[in-house]
Amino acid sequence: MKRLAASKMERCIGCYSCSLACARLVHKRLSWSCSGIRIHTSGGMSSGFEAKVCVACDPAPCAEVCPTEALTQRRDGGVKVNRSMCIRCGKCAAACPVDAIYLGVENNKPYICIHCGRCVAFCPQGCLELVDMETSQPEPNASSETPKEADHA
Amino acid sequence: MPDAPFRIMHMDLDSGRGKVLEFGDPAEVLGGSGLAAALFEEYGDPEGSWDDPRQPLIFVAGPLTGCYPLMSKTVCAFLSPYHNQYAESHAGGRLALALRFAGLHGLMITGRAKRLSCLTVGTRRIDIYDVDYLRGKDVFGAGKLLRRISRRSMSGHRTILRIGPAGENGSAMACINVDSYRHFGRLGSGAIMGAKNLKAVIIEGDGDLDLPGGKDYNSLYKELFGQLTTTDMMRKYHDLGTPSNLIPLNELKALPWRNLQATTDPGVEGISGEVFAEQLLLRQTACSGCPVGCIHIGLLRQQFAKEHEYLYKQVNYDYESVFAEGTMLGLTKASDVLALLDETEKQGLDVMGAGVALAWATEALDTGLISEEETLVPLAFGEVNGYVQAVAHMGNKSNDFYAALSMGTPAAVAQYGGGDFACVLGQEMAGYATGEVFFAAQTLGFRHSHLDTGAYSYDQKVKEKDAQKAIDFLVKDDVDRIQLTSMVSCLFARSAYSQERLQEALAAVGMTATADNLLESAKKVQRMRWRLKCRSGFDPINAKIPKRFTEITTWKGSIDPEYMEQVRMGYAQAIVAMAAMDEEPETES
């Protein structure tokens, strides 16, 4: 089983293509928020970017507090989402230790990464990858290796 | 997404209240450039004064904003303090997407706040804060404090527009800084915010929108994304960025040096795109919704005390800024250019205006038209320290000379002379000494941006001197670019978004009427923009190209003044005709 890893965020240029792709392809929204992965700055444009995305907890605190089993534990980490069960109480977002669950402004609907990897192809910088859950080790960061050609363009 | 009217927030600073307008038919006004002009026609007074608080300051996105890659720009429209004419300026950053995700296509601001203020707009909020404590703060210092008063959860999902001392002081070269590294640079939009007592605008993109299309939309998005990121089409913009043009233009003898006293110089080796990238490039960054990432950030390391005491700054550079505050001032060391750009950013000045104006001031000082009594500091080509101090004097209008200069080189020329060597083509020139067609086109250009038309490219590609052919090219290229700036696309994506591609993109989001009308409506927008500009005082027939532009030599040889004047006059007549085309004939009362 795979999980999404935002393992090379130091390469991020802040284009939001990943968030827009998740919103567009998974959640059928035009948004940079209604997405399983959201990009933020940590103190203005000069400070670089960070990704708010599920880190595949096992056990997952969000699933543990979910009162309806809309969120259930996914094997090896993360959660499975059953939207029809969700009553939009927001407890999952409060329980997430890394602020990775976004609640929609209009309807309190939770947006959480399902580790499908559809955003990966839309990152022009190679910041994101799907990694094997069993080893759960992302590829070594390029910054600690011999520089190689960037994936961009 | 049907062809529904645009949703505009009209904020009146006099009353402190906002009003949502449903304005304009997209099939008629398109969006962006067209929407801005239509709003100004309705709410502005082109015959009035730029600093009348009733005049609108307009920020608008377009129908495709956020829907496709590189649909990432915002159009700002206002009456310019530079020449009191209707003006447009474009910027990227996060503004376009923040507007759309705030549920708006545009924000129009009228009136004047009682005290220096910050306006915050989001899906469920309009707040005006008193920020008198930011008076006189430079752009970076203000940015840090503004981030504190904005909701922390919105970091990365908001835009912060702010002005520096230049905007507060009403400089005609004052820009509006967008998210630290982008700008509404030209024609003094920052002074409009100053005149409205508005230090900053924060727009929170805290909402979301229905997906505008289905499978066709998704597959078109994917195709465009692939075209823009995996082919060579956009590589140059990300790799070295626009400074990759420095060496080729220098080799062409088309790079302005030392107030256009020369068009080539071996000193380019110290400030080429390659040198910046290899020695000072810290990282690239992007506008929201653009996977290209053309914004280049350089590392400026400065020693501030003895021994090993250093500070560092992150400074944005690109071709135009390296020209204006590099070659134009004879600077041949990349870190010197970054130091000057940093000070210009702090003051909130248009870097092109400031650099070219200081080049004129340097020659005026050298020829004795002015003295150090005026400049306060020595100005000499190649000496960065004087320029850093002079930029601060411009931002603060330290004396009569800098007060005049900060209103534009023509204002200083009116007092001190030296018009023959003022490198002004309507506004301080852009960095392309490519020849007659570019000089004529920029003199009459709508934004005085080199991207108004492809005249710099025309000069390089077309050898024959056929004025009518050049004029026809300028008129057609203008309307082609208006289609893009109405969507609102980055003009770097012009090779990806042909007219047919734009129509396909509009149809895929359900805007079929706008798609069908695209070309005809763009021509109408072209006429509306020129009409507004002419009504506000633009006189293209009598626009002048200073003598300096006739004295240079490019790879093609000497400039041909006769050909240049034929192109200028012919294009001027075409503009006048376009401006008059839709005007209603006067009737007897």
Would you write out chain B's pLDDT as a tens digit for each of its 589 residues?
Answer: 678 999 999 999 999 999 999 999 999 999 999 999 999 999 999 999 999 999 999 999 999 999 999 999 999 999 999 999 999 999 999 999 999 999 999 999 999 999 999 999 999 999 999 999 999 999 999 999 999 888 878 888 999 999 999 999 999 999 999 999 999 999 999 999 999 999 999 999 999 999 998 899 999 999 999 999 988 888 889 999 999 999 999 999 999 999 999 999 999 999 999 999 999 999 999 999 999 999 999 999 999 999 899 999 999 999 999 999 999 999 999 999 999 999 999 999 999 999 999 999 999 999 999 999 999 999 999 999 999 999 999 999 999 999 999 999 999 999 999 999 999 999 999 999 999 999 999 999 998 888 999 999 999 999 999 999 999 999 999 999 999 999 999 999 999 999 999 999 999 999 999 999 999 999 999 999 999 999 999 999 999 999 999 999 999 999 999 999 999 999 999 999 999 998 766 555 4
Residue B531: per-residue pLDDT: 97
Predicted local distance difference test score (pLDDT) of residue A44: 67
pLDDT at residue B589, as a whole number? 45
| Angle between the N-to-C axes of helices B334-347 and B351-366, in degrees from 0 to 180, rounded to the nearest 10 | 110
Candidate from A40, A43, A105 with C-beta closest to B207 = A105
**pLDDT for A95-147, tens place per residue?**
999 999 999 988 999 999 999 999 999 999 999 999 998 765 555 554 444 44
Number of domains in chain A: 1
- CATH number assigned to the domain comprising residue B568: 1.10.599.10
Burial class (CB in 10 A: 0-12, 13-18, 19+), B133: exposed
Residue B531, C-beta contacts closer than 8 angstroms, at least 6 positions apart: B578, B579, B580, B582, B583
Q: Give CA–CA dist B570/B436, Å, rounded.
A: 13
What's the CATH code of the domain at A70? 3.30.70.20
Distance separating alpha carbons of residues A82 and A76, to the nearest angstrom: 18
For chains A and B, CB pairs below 8 A equal: 113
Tell me, yes or no, if A19 comes closer than 8 A to chain B by beta carbon: no
Mutate to test the interface with B, among A11, A16, A19, A106 (most CBs of B within 10 A): A16
At residue B204, the pLDDT reads: 96
* Cα(A122)–Cα(A31) distance, integer angstroms: 15
My answer on whether B263 and B133 are in the same domain is no
CB contact under 8 A, B218 and A28: no
Which of B156, B205, B292 lies nearest to residue A39, judging by beta carbons? B156
Q: Of B196, B176, B193, B195, nearest to B185 (Cα)?
A: B176
A14 touches chain B (CB under 8 A): yes
- Interchain proximity B208–A124, CB inside 8 Å: no
Nearest-CA distance from A37 to chain B in Å?
13
Distance set, CA B398 to CA B102, B359, B403 (Å): 40, 18, 7
Inter-chain CB proximity A45 and B66 less than 8 Å = no
CA distance B431 to B391: 19
Per-residue tokens: B381: 């080509």
Closest residue of chain B to A150, computed from CA coordinates? B239
What dihedral angle (degrees, nearest 10) is formed by the CA atoms of B199, B282, B235, A150? -130
Predicted confidence (pLDDT) per residue in A52-91, tens digit: 999 999 999 999 999 999 999 999 899 999 999 999 999 9
Q: Which residue of A has its CA nearest to B99?
A: A31
Query: What is the sign of the dihedral through the CA atoms of A30, A31, A36 and A37?
Result: positive
Q: At B28, list the tokens.
A: 């008629």
Cα–Cα dist B316/B325, whole Å: 13
Give the CATH number for residue B113. Answer: 3.60.9.10
Q: Provide the residue range defining the domain that includes B268.
A: 234-397
CATH of the domain at B314: 1.10.569.10
Do B192 and B261 lie in one domain? The reply is: no
Answer for the pair A81, A46: CB distance below 8 angstroms, yes or no. Answer: no
Query: Which pLDDT score is estimated for A144?
Result: 42
Q: Is B274 exposed, middle or buried (0-12, 13-18, 19+ CB in 10 A)?
A: middle
Task: Check B212 against A41: CB less than 8 A apart.
Answer: no
Report yes or no on B223 lying in a domain: no
Residue B213 lies in a domain: no
A39 contacts B293? CB cut-off 8 A? no
Helix (H) or strand (E) holding B106: strand B106-110
Question: Would you say residue B245 lies in a domain?
Answer: yes
Q: How far apart are CA B324 and CA B351, in angstroms?
A: 7
Q: How many domains does chain B have?
A: 3
| Order of all β-strands in the sheet with B6-12 | B17-23, B6-12, B106-110, B57-60, B74-79, B86-91
**pLDDT given at position A133:** 82
Residue A151 pLDDT > 50, yes or no?
no
Q: Which one of A17, A33, A44 has the shortest CB-CB distance to B147?
A: A44
- Between the CA of residue A48 and those of A10, A43, B124, B333, what are the distances in Å? 7, 8, 28, 27
Preceding amide of A59 cis, omega within 30 = yes
Of B204, B219, B247, the one marking the end of a domain is B204
Q: Is residue A152 part of a domain?
A: no
In 3D, which of B57, B75, B38, B58 has the Cα closest to residue B449? B75
The complex's ipTM works out to: 0.94
**Single residue among B204, B221, B243 that ends a domain in this structure:** B204
What pLDDT does A139 receive?
Answer: 55
The residues that bridge with B184 in the sheet, in sequence order, are B176
Residues of A within 8 A of B67 (CB-CB) are 30
Is B433 found in the same domain as B391? no
Q: Helix, strand or coil for residue B223? A: helix
Asked if A20 reaches chain B (Cβ–Cβ under 8 Å), the answer is yes
Structure tokens that stand for B579 in this block: 């401006």
Residue B140 lies in a domain: yes
What's the gap in Å between the CA of B459 and the closest CA on chain A?
Answer: 29
C-alpha to C-alpha distance for A1 and A80, rounded to whole angstroms: 13
CB contact under 8 A, A33 and B234: no
Helices (H) and strands (E) in chain A, counts: 3, 9
- pLDDT, position A142: 45
Contact A46 B97 (CB under 8 A): no
Listed in order, strand segments (DSSP E) in B318-433 are 424-425, 427-428
Q: Do B208 and A23 touch (CB under 8 A)?
A: yes
Mutate to test the interface with A, among B70, B224, B229, B233 (most CBs of A within 10 A): B229
Residue A88 domain boundaries: 2-138
For residue B205, CA distances in Å to A98, A150, B103 come to: 22, 30, 8
First to last CA, chain A: 30
Instruction: Measure the CA–CA gap between A6 and A25, rounded to whole angstroms.
Output: 19
Query: Angle CA(A24)–CA(A28)–CA(A34) in degrees, nearest 5?
Result: 75
Interface probe, candidates A26, A32, A33, A101, chain B, greatest B C-beta count within 10 A = A32
H or E, element range at B101: helix B95-101
Does residue A121 fall inside a structural domain? Answer: yes
Q: CA-CA distances (angstroms) from residue B266 to B230, B270, B382, B551, B572?
A: 35, 9, 13, 20, 37
DSSP string, B509-541: TT-HHHHHHHHHHHHHHHHHHHHHHHHTT--GG
Of A146, A151, A3, A152, residue with least CA distance to A77: A3
Would you say residue B589 lies in a domain?
Answer: no
Type of residue at B443: T
Which residues of A fall within a CB distance of 8 Å from B180?
A: 44-46
- Using an 8 Å Cβ cutoff, are B439 and B564 in contact? yes
pLDDT at A153: 39
